[in-house]
Amino acid sequence: MLNLAVPLPPLLEVDGIFGPKTSARVVMFQKQAPRLVPDGIVGPLTSKALLGAVLSDLGAGPDFSR
């Protein structure tokens, strides 16, 4: 989802590991999303905002990030 929500090169490799690159990309997303604390933790609010951003970009549903 991060590659869709924050499509900056280089794209993250999906390897199942939440490493420093993933954490940095989460912080980037959190900084651009309203009301999220840029802490690199994908808690309930960040998860909801990520899903909303991806669905909104795909035109597949409402934007739940607000």
Of 20 and 65, which is predicted with more confidence?
20
Interval 1-12 mean pLDDT: 86
CB contact at 8 A, 25 and 14: no
**pLDDT confidence of residue 56:** 81
pLDDT at 60 (0 to 100): 55
The CA distance from 51 to 48, in Å, is 5
Mean pLDDT confidence for 11-19: 94
Contact 37, 54 (CB under 8 A): no
pLDDT digits (tens, 9 = 90+) for 21-59: 999 999 999 999 999 999 999 999 999 999 998 888 676
| Assigned token pair, 10 | 């280089």
Model confidence pTM above 0.95: no
**DSSP code at position 13:** P
The domains of the chain are located at: 2-6+19-58
